[in-house]
Amino acid sequence: MNLKEICEVIGAKVVCGEKLLGTEIEFAFSSDLMSDVLTVQCDNLLLITGLTNLQAIRTAEMSDIPCVLFVRNKPITDEMIELAEESDIVVLQSTRSLFFVTGELYKVGLKPVY
């Protein structure tokens, strides 16, 4: 499933990285603990989180995660967008909860890491 399809399923807004919406995603990981995210060894991963700070983008960069989906309509700063653009990381935003988004993406076939 690509990022454009993911946006359609959950009604996510593309904050940055629109040119990369064709990126294929196979797995999703939901967490607000970036230390847990750093332990994941997985390609084609979508990070779903409510933690809206630079650390989430830096963690995605270090872990080669192509997309971060922020939930609960949390504010995304210009600094976060700038870092994501520099790192070719797609940033998506959803008004829905972490639980809802994760469940909907699981229903359409995204695989859990564990």
How many Cα neighbours within 13 Å face the side chain of 40?
A: 25
What confidence tens digit (pLDDT) does each residue in 37-88 have?
999 999 999 999 999 999 999 999 999 999 999 999 999 999 999 999 999 9
Specify the pLDDT at position 75. 96
Mean pLDDT over all residues of the chain? 97
Indicate the domain borders of the chain.
3-112
% pLDDT > 90, the chain: 99
Q: For the domain 3-112, what is the CATH code?
A: 3.40.1390.20
pLDDT at 86: 98
Query: Cα–Cα distances in Å, from 9 out to 22, 28, 49, 50, 63?
Result: 15, 14, 17, 19, 25
Tell me the whole-structure pTM to 2 decimals.
0.96
Quick one: pLDDT at residue 6?
98
